[in-house]
Amino acid sequence: MPTIRLSDYLTAPTSGMLDGTPYEHLEKSELADFLALWEDRHRQALTRLSHRIHPTAQIHPTAIIGDDVIIGPRVRVWEFSTVRAGSVLCDDVTVGFNCEVTRSFVGERAVLGHRIGINRTLVGTDAHLSANLTVAAISMWSPHMSNPERDIVLRTSDGLYRCGTPQFGALIGDRVQTGNSISLGPGVALGRDCRIATGVTLAARIIPDHSVITAPHTSEVHVRRRPAHRGRTTAGA
């Protein structure tokens, strides 16, 4: 089976807040192994932290933060956003207006724009995700989406990669940038420095570093002139 090593996509936290926790060695993990152990490793991390939310983090009063979320120094979470289910926001992350972050790891200095929803997703350092981006984590082909059973599978050049779980959204590499109104997952791995244009829908595949992904219809815009309006003529004129 092909392998997906997190070190090919993500940079582990460097600031020190997560030192001594399993997240310190994030780069050493293989994706399927990490996903299988994620919840246990997160619980271990919580027991080793002196404070779960850093005192310098700025969280808007209307934001909702789960009891098992880890938030690093200088993080900003804006109005009406929710961060929950064992998510990690590393140093200097920005979560914009009305976002939903569920069971996700967001690397240092990453920016989530307005109205973004990510689920079971790993986001790299300095990534910038623009407004109205959604990452789905469950296959619609599961018999019951509220209790998913269908394993998430990615297509690679070496064959199919099985994530070993029915819930996985995306692996978004360092410095990835996106336009708006984008749908990703379930099961996407975006290499470092990728650019995704507005309107793209992408799932179940691996994208190499430095790729540019566009939606063909965004360039197929046609402009034509309307017929000139002709006023009514008066009979006998």
pLDDT tens per residue, range 201-216: 999 999 999 999 987 6
223 lies in some domain: no
When pLDDT is cut at 50, 70 and 90, the band that residue 153 belongs to is: very high
**C-alpha to C-alpha distance for 103 and 118, rounded to whole angstroms:** 8
Q: Residue 124 belongs to a domain with what CATH number? A: 2.160.10.10
Q: In the chain, what is the greatest distance between 2 CA atoms, to the nearest angstrom?
A: 94
Q: Which of 105, 104, 111 is nearest to 74 (CA)?
A: 111
**C-alpha to C-alpha distance for 225 and 207, rounded to whole angstroms:** 40
171-229 tens-digit pLDDT: 999 999 999 999 999 999 999 999 999 989 999 999 999 999 987 665 554 445 556 65
235 lies in some domain: no
228 lies in some domain: no
For position 224, what pLDDT does the model report?
A: 56
29 lies in some domain: yes
122 lies in some domain: yes
Q: Give the residue numbers spanning the domain of 61.
A: 6-214
Which stretch of DSSP H or E encloses residue 82? strand 82-84
Residue 234 amino acid letter: T
221 lies in some domain: no
18 lies in some domain: yes
Rg of the chain over Cα atoms, rounded to whole angstroms, equals 21
CB 128 within 8 A of CB 114: no
Which stretch of DSSP H or E encloses residue 95? strand 94-95
- Count CB neighbours of 203 within 10 A: 19
Give me the residue label for tokens 């979560």.
Answer: 95
In the predicted structure, residue 119 carries a pLDDT above the cut 80: yes
31-83 tens-digit pLDDT: 999 999 999 999 999 999 988 999 999 999 999 999 999 999 999 999 999 99
The CA-atom distances, in angstroms, between 217 and each of 64, 88, 135, 200 are 37, 36, 21, 10
Total domains, the chain: 1
When pLDDT is cut at 50, 70 and 90, the band that residue 236 belongs to is: very low
